[in-house]
């Protein structure tokens, strides 16, 4: 049967235009998004190019700033160290006290011959010496030094030369009075000529400027070919009167023929795409016409044989059930006893004019599709409600108070159990994957509760989709080490650290960052909000101890063997510390190095002097060179000398800082608010830059990354080396570095540390309070206390620096205590500062029992 009347010859030219339009329209519709996409892509590429150029400029400026500021800090530090070394000389002080003008003149002549020094001027109080030709700048500096006023290095253009002036007072060896002054005049051009700059493209400049009060700005130094366009940026330096001006001409970064580079490939893709789309559209049109004819043939005849000829698989998939449905729906209207139904197959309108409604097709399709949707929803609901295979508890049982400032810490059986560990694993795994890291290193300490907590943690990690690299029972530094060596930048350590045996917790590293504060709290928010991934993961058992020992053995060189007593406090450090220190050449005497989670001898906390008494006795009984103590998970270090003297960590930092800064002049050294102020002074004298920061291993590591410091340390015994190491706290590696330094000394350990005198001070003092009240007390002190002539620092708690000492009180982030420490120039001053703190504390918290 004919379905369509053939047009007459005189009418063939008229329908040709609509057919052409119909064939062109799909192609145009397909090409329009491509053209628009090309335009958008070019706009994005141009924006990216500009952004890239801006980013390059920003990086170049940062690079120049870092390079020059570090060099200038090193330069001024060396000058300061040099002149103070001259002023501290005992022969100079003796000549001043004896009014020996001849010796002073000899010193001036000899010292003026040293490299970079233009002239030395020495003035002794009460000694008149003939002077000629001293500039007003020299006289001004000498006058400031004579009154013990601080004076910074100053650039002066005098006598046709560019000079640096630096004057310091000379202090009486037994009394705190000025007995003379020393002025050093340096060749500024020679010193500034040492500065070097990174190689950059054309169009940049660096200027060092000096701006004194009520004086014109002076240019001390200039480098670079200059700027074609743009404005320079100004940066402050550690020197109070100097600024660094840096400019980068970004136009040089935009001169490349970017349009040709970026247009060539998109245009080629567009032309190829157009050709491909045209061919596909032509082929698809022909195939669609053929499939339509075959489908119509099958529907009108009721025979499915024509469906095999369909080229479109999706159409074939739809046509087969559709044909069956039509046949089924048509049976009641066409009984077998009435063969008259056959002519229907020949009528074109049956398929094209709408008899589908008579067959009940809409109703049949609506019912089937609705059933399919309901079934899919039921399947989805079942998937969501199914609990993960290892989850036996309720995430709502996880309490928020264990998520502390820089780790997760709780009391086992009270607010910490396996259920909590499991959900922490789910949350940490989800967070790690969200940060692009699906591999997580795990380990545990030797506490009795740690194996079960680790097992639950690992189950949570794997059910979040992570690959777990489990190190087993190892010190915390081994987990940190694993995040640098195992191609996995996330890690979790199950440990209660130095806390009592019934405590435990988790130290968490995600994508290279040790979590603290808000990021620790975010793990709880994931659990509470159900923001948790559920995917299959895996576990691998990894052995890393040998690699860790080999790495440190290759790095640390002990020149002479030392006899060392090691007290691991029955903590997990015992599995590696004795072997490691023996491998670097020490004679090790172990003490409590067997792992026992009951801690039968003492708490594994070297910060408490009571826990070091057995070590002191053992060192003296063995005639050892020194004793070393570690906390429960091996990331903290304690030291006692051969005489049994406890070397507190801030004093130990003096030894380490001097060693590191000597190789890296101008570097930053970080210490926490509990450390002696003598440490900052020593770092400055050695040419480093002291940085005080908040207590907490996570916070210290973040500050270390921020500043690029090479060394950091806390009063608690956490020591962080970035020089030759990875920047995490490692008591075992720190012990090896201490032994390396001491092994080259000819003096005994007690005499070595005698070079680093300390003022009368207390160790860390703990005042028991409640978890809820500790922060409120500190806030009240910050708001209401009166400290007299003290300078208050609220960086972490309340630290008050007085003219002759200081005191600190802060809330512990791990236990319900207030932590205090005091230092005074004399015992009387120490007692006075303690009394001031006692009065202020009792004023805001009258019920507190003062510990002394």
Residue 691 has pLDDT above 90, yes or no: yes
Question: Which range has the top average pLDDT, 46-55, 423-432, 782-791?
Answer: 423-432
Taking only Cα atoms into account, the Rg of the chain, rounded to an integer number of angstroms, comes to 40
Measured in whole angstroms, the distance separating CA 37 from the mean position of its chain's CA atoms is 39
Closest CA to 477 of 393, 551, 533: 551
Q: What are the two backbone dihedrals, phi and then psi, of residue 598, each rounded to the nearest 5 degrees?
A: -80, -15
- Which single residue is written with the structure tokens 């070595």? 752
* Architecture of the 765-844 domain: 2-Layer Sandwich (3.30)
203: left (phi over 0), alpha (psi -120 to 50) or beta: left
Give the pLDDT band of residue 34 (cuts 50, 70, 90): low
The more confident residue out of 631 and 194 is 631
Amino acid 380: pLDDT:
34
The more confident residue out of 214 and 514 is 514
Amino acid 37: pLDDT:
66
Contact 657, 686 (CB under 8 A): yes
Amino acid 485: pLDDT:
96
Count of helix runs (H) and strand runs (E) in the chain: 23, 29
Least confident of 196-210, 234-248, 707-721: 196-210
Contact 647, 609 (CB under 8 A): no
Residues 490-509: pLDDT tens digits? 999 999 998 889 999 999 99
Amino acid 84: pLDDT:
83
If you write DSSP's letter for every residue of 246-308 in order, what string do you get?
Answer: EEE-GGGGG-S-HHHHHHHHHHHHHHHHHHHHHHHHHHHHHHHHHHHHHHHHHHHHT-GGGGG
SS3 content of the chain, % helix, strand, coil (to 5): 45, 20, 35
Calpha distance 567→445 (Å, rounded):
16
Amino acid 263: pLDDT:
55
Residues 740-760: pLDDT tens digits? 999 999 899 999 999 998 899
Decide whether 562-754 matches 765-844 in CATH topology. no
CA 448, 452, 455, 461 dihedral sign is: negative
Amino acid 18: pLDDT:
41
- E-strand ranges in 439-510 read 439-444, 467-473, 490-494, 503-510
Give the count of alpha carbons within 13 A of 351, CB side only: 19
Residues 405-423: pLDDT tens digits? 889 999 999 999 999 999 9
Q: By three-state DSSP, how is residue 204 classified?
A: strand
Calpha distance 123→146 (Å, rounded):
9
Amino acid 626: pLDDT:
98
Closest CA to 135 of 168, 105, 157: 157
| Residue 608 in tokens | 């408490």
Calpha distance 803→74 (Å, rounded):
29
The more confident residue out of 102 and 16 is 102
| Residues involved in catalysis | 409, 497, 718
- Which single residue is written with the structure tokens 């512990």? 812
Residue 847 has pLDDT above 60, yes or no: yes
Calpha distance 192→68 (Å, rounded):
11
Contact 661, 669 (CB under 8 A): yes
Calpha distance 7→719 (Å, rounded):
95
Q: What are the two backbone dihedrals, phi and then psi, of residue 626, each rounded to the nearest 5 degrees?
A: -170, 170
Residue 390 has pLDDT above 50, yes or no: no
What is the CB neighbour count within 10 angstroms for residue 338? 9
Give the domain 82-192 fold.
Answer: Beta-Lactamase (3.30.450)
Give the residues across from 184 on adjacent strands. 120, 166
Closest CA to 541 of 486, 610, 622, 489: 486
Q: What are the two backbone dihedrals, phi and then psi, of residue 195, each rounded to the nearest 5 degrees?
A: -65, 140
Residue 679 has pLDDT above 90, yes or no: yes
Amino acid 413: pLDDT:
94
Q: CA separation (Å) from 368 to 319, 357, 810?
A: 15, 16, 69
Torsion angle, alpha carbons of 319, 325, 329, 330, to 10: 40
Residues 328-376: pLDDT tens digits? 555 544 444 443 333 333 333 333 333 333 333 333 333 333 333 334 3
H or E stretch at 819? strand 817-824
Calpha distance 120→111 (Å, rounded):
7
Give the domain 395-543 fold.
Answer: Alpha-D-Glucose-1,6-Bisphosphate; Chain A, domain 3 (3.40.120)
H or E stretch at 801? strand 798-802
Calpha distance 797→775 (Å, rounded):
9
Instruction: Please give the average per-residue pLDDT across 674-697, as a whole number.
Output: 93
Ordered by start, the domain boundaries in the chain are 82-192, 258-332, 395-543, 562-754, 765-844
Q: For residue 598, give the DSSP letter.
A: T
Look at domain 562-754 and name its CATH class: alpha beta
Residue 505, classified by CB atoms within 10 Å of its CB into exposed (0-12), middle (13-18) or buried (19+), is buried
If you write DSSP's letter for every residue of 542-592 in order, what string do you get?
Answer: ---HHHHHHHHHHH---SS--EEEEE-TTSGGGGTHHHHHHHTT-EEEEES
Share of the chain above pLDDT 70, in %: 75
If you write DSSP's letter for every residue of 638-699 in order, what string do you get?
Answer: EEEETT--EE-HHHHHHHHHHHHHHHSTT-EEEEETTS-HHHHHHHHHTT-EEEEE-S-HHH
Q: What predicted TM-score, i.e. pTM, was given to this entire model?
A: 0.58
Q: What is the mean pLDDT of the chain?
A: 82
């Amino acid at each position: 049967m004919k379905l369509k009347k053939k047009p007459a010859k005189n009418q063939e030219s008229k329908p040709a235009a609509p057919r052409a339009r119909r064939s062109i329209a799909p192609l145009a519709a397909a090409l329009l998004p491509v053209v628009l996409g090309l335009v958008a892509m070019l706009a994005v590429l141009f924006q990216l190019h500009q952004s890239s150029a801006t980013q390059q400029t920003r990086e170049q400026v940062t690079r120049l700033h870092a390079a020059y500021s570090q060099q200038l800090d090193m330069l001024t530090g060396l000058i300061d160290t040099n002149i103070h070394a001259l002023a501290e000389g005992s022969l100079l002080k003796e000549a001043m006290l004896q009014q020996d003008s001849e010796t002073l003149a000899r010193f001036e002549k000899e010292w003026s011959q040293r490299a970079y020094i233009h002239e030395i001027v020495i003035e002794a109080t009460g000694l008149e010496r003939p002077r000629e030709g001293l500039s007003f700048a020299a006289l001004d500096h000498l006058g400031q030094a004579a009154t013990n006023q601080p004076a910074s290095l100053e650039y002066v253009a005098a006598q046709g030369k560019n000079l640096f002036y630096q004057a310091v007072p000379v202090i009486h060896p037994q009394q705190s009075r000025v007995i003379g002054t020393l002025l050093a005049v340096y060749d500024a051009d020679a010193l500034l000529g040492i500065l070097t700059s990174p190689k950059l493209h054309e169009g940049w400049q660096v200027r060092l400027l000096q701006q004194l009060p009520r004086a014109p700005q002076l240019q001390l130094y200039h480098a670079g070919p200059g700027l074609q366009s743009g404005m320079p940026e100004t940066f402050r330096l550690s020197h109070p009167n100097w600024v660094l001006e840096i400019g980068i001409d970004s136009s040089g970064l935009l001169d490349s023929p970017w349009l040709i580079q970026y247009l060539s490939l998109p245009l080629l893709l567009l032309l190829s795409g157009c050709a491909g789309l045209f061919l596909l559209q032509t082929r698809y049109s022909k195939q669609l016409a053929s499939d339509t004819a075959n489908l119509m043939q099958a529907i009108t005849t009721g025979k499915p044989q024509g469906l095999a000829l369909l080229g479109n698989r999706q159409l074939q998939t739809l046509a087969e059930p559709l044909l069956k449905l039509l046949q089924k729906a048509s049976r009641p209207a066409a009984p077998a006893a009435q063969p008259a139904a056959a002519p229907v197959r020949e009528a074109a309108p049956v398929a094209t004019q709408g008899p589908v409604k008579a067959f009940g097709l809409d109703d049949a399709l609506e019912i089937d599709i609705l059933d399919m949707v309901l079934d899919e929803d039921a399947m989805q609901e079942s998937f969501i409600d199914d609990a993960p295979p290892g989850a036996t508890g309720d995430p709502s049982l996880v309490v928020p108070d264990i998520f502390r400032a820089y780790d997760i810490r709780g009391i086992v059986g009270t607010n910490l159990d396996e259920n909590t560990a499991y959900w922490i694993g789910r949350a940490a795994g989800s967070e790690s994957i969200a940060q692009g890291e699906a591999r997580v290193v795990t380990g545990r300490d030797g506490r009795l509760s740690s194996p079960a907590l680790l097992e639950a943690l690992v189950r949570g990690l794997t059910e979040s989709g992570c690959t777990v690299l489990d190190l087993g029972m190892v010190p915390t530094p081994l987990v940190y080490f694993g995040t640098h060596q195992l191609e996995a930048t996330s890690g979790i350590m199950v440990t209660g650290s130095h806390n009592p045996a019934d405590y435990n917790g988790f130290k968490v590293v995600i994508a290279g960052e040790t979590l603290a504060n808000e990021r620790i709290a975010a793990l709880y928010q994931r659990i509470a909000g159900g923001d948790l991934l559920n995917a299959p993961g895996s576990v691998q058992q990894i052995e890393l101890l040998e690699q860790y020992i080999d790495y440190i053995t290759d790095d640390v060189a002990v020149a002479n063997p030392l006899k060392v007593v090691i007290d691991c406090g029955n903590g997990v450090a015992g599995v590696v510390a004795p072997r490691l220190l023996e491998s670097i050449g020490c004679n090790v005497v172990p003490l409590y190095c067997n792992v026992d989670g009951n801690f039968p001898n003492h708490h594994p906390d070297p910060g408490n002097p009571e826990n070091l008494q057995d070590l002191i006795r053992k060192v003296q009984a063995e005639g050892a060179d020194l004793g070393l103590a570690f906390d429960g998970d091996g990331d903290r270090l304690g030291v006692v000398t051969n005489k049994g003297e406890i070397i507190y960590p801030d004093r130990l930092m003096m030894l380490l800082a001097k060693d590191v800064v000597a190789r890296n002049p101008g570097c930053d050294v970080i210490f926490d608010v509990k450390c002696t102020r003598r440490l900052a002074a020593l770092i400055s004298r050695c040419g480093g830059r002291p940085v005080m920061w908040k207590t907490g291993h996570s916070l210290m590591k973040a500050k270390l990354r921020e500043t690029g410091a090479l060394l950091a340390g806390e009063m608690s015994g956490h020591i962080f080396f970035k020089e030759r190491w990875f920047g995490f706290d490692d008591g075992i590696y720190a012990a090896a570095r201490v032994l390396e330094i001491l092994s080259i000394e000819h003096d005994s350990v007690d005499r070595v540390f005698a070079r680093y005198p300390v003022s009368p001070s207390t160790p860390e003092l703990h005042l028991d309070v409640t978890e809820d009240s500790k922060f409120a007390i500190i806030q009240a002190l910050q708001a209401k206390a009166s400290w007299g002539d003290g300078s208050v620092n609220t960086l972490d708690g309340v630290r008050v620096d007085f003219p002759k000492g200081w005191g600190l009180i802060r809330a512990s982030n791990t236990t319900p205590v207030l932590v205090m420490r005091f230092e005074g120039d004399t015992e009387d001053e120490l007692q006075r500062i303690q009394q001031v703190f006692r009065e202020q504390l009792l004023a805001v918290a009258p019920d507190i029992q003062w510990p002394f």
